[in-house]
Each structure stands twice: as C-alpha cells, then as structure tokens.
C-alpha cells in the first residue's frame, strides 16, 4: 500500500473516532427531555426559566430559584435545594404528581412558594390555610438518589418578596386630599341630580274687576212755578 493510501486510511479512521467521541459527549439536557415527556409542566411552573431551574435542580440536586409575580405587583423569589439526583422520567412523574396535588387543593396556577413547599415536604399555603404535602410526593423526593444509602433531605424554603416599583393606582375618596378647584371640593348650589325638582307654583289668574262709576254730583231741584 502506498504512503498516500495509508494516510487516507488513517485520516478516515481518525474522523470516525472523533465523530464517535462527539456523539458520546453530546447529551440531551434533562429539561428538554422532561418538556417532551410532559409539556404542561412549563405552564405549571410559571415560566420557562422556572421550569429549567426546577428540572436541573432535581436532576443534579442543586439549588433551585423560582420567581413569581404576585397579583399586587410584587415579585416573589423562592430558593430551595431539593433532594437528588433524579432521572428525567422521575422528574416528570414527580412534578406531574405535584401538579395534580395542588389542583386538588384548588391551586391551578401555583406560586413558587407553593411548588417548593409541596416538593420539600412542608405545608402548602392555600386560601383556606396551610395543607400538608402529599406523602407520595414526599417519599419520591426523599428517595431521589438512585443506589444511595440515604437520601439527603431538602433545605428549608427561602421566600423573599420584592415590592413593585410602580405603586398601585389610588381611588380618591372623601377623606383624600384633592387639589384646590377640584370638583369634589367645590360646593354645589341648586338642585342635585338625585333630588327631585320641586314644581314651580303658578299664580291663579284673577277675574277682571268692573270699573266703578264716579258718583254724580247732587243737583238742586228746579223751582216750582206759581199758577
């Protein structure tokens, strides 16, 4: 075999080895696998960023951070460290059970605090008080490490509230200060819109009085003629 042919064979073999090594090192991220298995979990966690942080934390046993915008405009930032690691299939099953549990508690769109407490085994805040986490979810979370002799309990849930930069709009009331000249401070004279208008009295026409004749002056009687 000529030296040129040997060089070509060596180059082809090297390319095949490099391709095989790249195929082995390139792995699908766990959040992409979980999203394919259960796409509804993205909406459940509140955002794609929350979903990725939660799945990666469960897959590696690292810290998770969940951000939720509350109805009053403030931002809730929740951090905790779940037990792990879990496989993508286990993560999808665990999060779906958590979603079903919160729906059973009347929570369709949970906050980060509610998700974290449900996964960490704490009590979940609800509109009717705090409810304990599902035993099945707690057991699956605590047995996360496959082949490990003991599961690592999760850290406590840390909740931080960041007030909204824009204050909520205020509705003026009678005791609220108003600038001079405002309608609410200007006295209203006359009839009010919700007060019935009194009828205007119309004078009754009187009949015309006949003109009085001036009395005639008295005249002396004419003298009588003598016959």
81 part of a folded domain: yes
68 part of a folded domain: yes
pLDDT attached to residue 11: 53
188 part of a folded domain: no
pLDDT attached to residue 22: 44
76 part of a folded domain: yes
pLDDT attached to residue 148: 44
142 part of a folded domain: yes
pLDDT attached to residue 21: 45
pLDDT attached to residue 173: 53
Phi, psi of 202 (to 5 degrees): -105, 125
Asked if 98 contacts 90 with a C-beta cutoff of 8 angstroms, the reply is no
pLDDT attached to residue 215: 62
If you search the block for the tokens 């509230």, which residue do you land on?
161
149 part of a folded domain: yes
Whether the CA torsion 152, 36, 48, 133 is positive or negative: it is negative
Closest by Cα among 52, 72, 65 to 159: 65
56 part of a folded domain: yes
pLDDT attached to residue 195: 59
Asked if 115 contacts 98 with a C-beta cutoff of 8 angstroms, the reply is yes
pLDDT attached to residue 79: 95
Q: What are the start-end ranges of the H helices in 38-142?
A: 40-45, 48-60, 88-104, 112-120, 135-142
Task: Going residue by residue through the chain, which has 227 residues, state the pLDDT in tens, using 9 for 90 and above.
Answer: 555 554 454 455 555 545 544 444 458 899 999 999 999 999 999 999 999 999 999 999 999 999 999 999 999 999 999 887 999 999 999 999 999 999 999 999 999 999 999 998 888 988 888 888 776 676 666 665 454 444 444 568 999 999 987 765 665 555 555 555 555 555 555 555 565 666 666 666 666 666 666 666 666 666 666 65
Strand ranges for 58-212 from DSSP E: 64-69, 75-80, 123-126, 129-132, 158-162
Domain that holds residue 157: 28-162
Q: In what order do the strands lie in the sheet with 75-80?
A: 64-69, 75-80, 158-162
51 part of a folded domain: yes
pLDDT attached to residue 25: 43
Domain count, the chain: 1
């Amino acid at each position: 075999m000529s030296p040129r042919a040997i060089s070509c064979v060596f180059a082809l073999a090297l390319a095949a080895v490099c391709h095989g090594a790249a195929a082995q090192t390139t792995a699908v991220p766990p959040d992409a696998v979980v999203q394919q298995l259960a796409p509804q979990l993205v909406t459940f966690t509140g955002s794609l960023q929350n979903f990725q942080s939660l799945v990666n934390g469960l897959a590696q046993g690292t810290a998770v951070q969940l951000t939720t915008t509350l109805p009053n405009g403030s931002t809730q930032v929740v951090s905790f460290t779940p037990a792990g690691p879990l496989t993508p299939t286990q993560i999808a099953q665990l999060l779906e059970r958590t979603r079903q549990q919160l729906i059973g508690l009347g929570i369709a769109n949970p906050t980060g605090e509610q998700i974290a407490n449900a996964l960490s085994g704490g009590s979940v805040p609800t509109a009717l008080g705090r409810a304990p986490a599902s035993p099945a979810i707690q057991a699956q979370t605590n047995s996360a490490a496959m082949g490990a002799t003991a599961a690592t309990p999760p850290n406590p849930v840390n909740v931080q509230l960041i007030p909204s930069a824009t204050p909520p709009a205020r509705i003026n009331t009678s005791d609220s200060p108003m600038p001079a000249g405002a309608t609410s401070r200007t006295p209203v004279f006359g009839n009010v819109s919700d007060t019935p208008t009194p009828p205007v009295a119309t004078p009754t026409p009187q009949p015309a009085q006949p003109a009085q004749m001036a009395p005639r002056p008295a005249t002396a009687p004419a003298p009588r003629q003598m016959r």
